[in-house]
Amino acid sequence: MELIRLTPLDLALAALLVLALALLSLKLSLGIGQRLLIAALRTVVQLSLLGLVLKFLFVQSHPMLIAALALFMLVVAGYEVMARQQRRFIGAWGMGVGTLSMFISSFTVTLIALTVIVQAEPWYSVQYTIPLLGMLLGNTMSGIAIALDNLTQSAWQQQREIEGRLMLGHTWEEAIRVIRRNALRSGLIPIINAMAAAGVVSLPGMMTGQILAGSPPFEAAKYQILIMLLIAAGTGFGASAAVWIGSRRLFDERERLRLDRLSPAKPE
């Protein structure tokens, strides 16, 4: 089946739907119309630039250029995790917790997938490396952001309970154990729901894209299964690392709760 190529007019028609949604938001006083339009504009610009960059990388295929793009994606994902926090860690830790957790999980899982499962030749082939890493970073980012936000918000709200446990002789890990468990659960719920609904309620994006591009449906399904399993593993490991690092940061070396390491709550 020949690929149907989209024209600028086709994309403009789709953009009109988003514009209509922004106008509806304005009429209903939802207060998100401007953010919606900015997000849509960012989507168009960022994906267009990515398409041009990947076109260049497909020609060059130099490992240093691929590594530079991967590092850039990681840094941006780390910033986005920080930007979504209601109460984020102050200083370098604000961005460092999420970025480090995504590096530990997403990069490790991507490397395993490329070298052991997919066995691309070469293993850093841009055709596989950037799409796999991008999907893992995007989904891991969401899980880590939710888990960290739940952790810091709960610690702030339950300050007295935590300090009460510390006064009774509990260690910092015991004092915050329930909060950590709930924060990790909250970070994993989206990917669990996505896997449970895949193929029944929803047709995942990668599989849809491959089918539209003309790939055999069953081959597209196998790749989508691989991606979903990798995302689940990456999200789980990343959220676990983020919750552990974040919860440890909430206490000093004398095991005192240090909420002064968190920023004030962002206004709604």
Q: How many CB atoms lie within 10 A of CB 46?
A: 11
Amino acid 268: pLDDT = 53
Q: Which residues contact 189 (CB under 8 A, 6 or more apart)?
A: 146
Statement: the pTM of the whole predicted model exceeds 0.85: no
Nearest to 251 by CA among 242, 262, 241: 262
Closest CA to 137 of 81, 179, 185, 64: 81
CA distances from 170 to 2, 125, 156, 219, 258 (A): 65, 50, 18, 53, 16
Q: Is 19 a residue whose pLDDT tops 90? A: yes
Distance of CA 137 to the CA centre of its chain: 5
Q: Is the peptide bond before 122 cis (omega within 30 degrees of 0)?
A: yes
User: What does the pLDDT read at residue 2?
Assistant: 61
Lowest average pLDDT, out of 53-62, 125-134, 187-196, 239-248, goes to: 53-62
Q: pLDDT per residue over 168-188, tens digit each?
A: 999 999 999 999 999 999 999
Model pLDDT, residue 181: 93
The region that residue 159 occupies, defined by phi over 0 for left and psi between -120 and 50 for alpha, beta otherwise, is alpha
What phi and psi values does residue 25 have, to the nearest 5 degrees?
Answer: -60, -40
Model confidence over 49-96: pLDDT tens digits? Answer: 888 888 888 777 788 888 888 898 898 888 888 887 888 888 888 888
Residues 47-67: b if buried by 16+ CB within 10 A, e if exposed = eeeeeeeeeebeeeeeeeebe
Q: Taken in order 57, 144, 205, 44, is the CA torsion positive or negative? A: negative
Q: What crossing angle do the helices spanning 205-212 and 217-249 adopt, rounded to 10°? A: 150
Instruction: Give the SS3 label for residue 3.
Output: coil
Q: According to the model, what pLDDT value does residue 77 have? A: 87
Q: According to the model, what pLDDT value does residue 171 have?
A: 92
**Which among 218, 189, 220, 190 is positioned nearest to 205, based on CA atoms?**
220
The model's pLDDT over 187-226, given as tens digits with 9 standing for 90+, comes to: 999 889 888 888 776 666 777 777 777 778 788 888 888 8
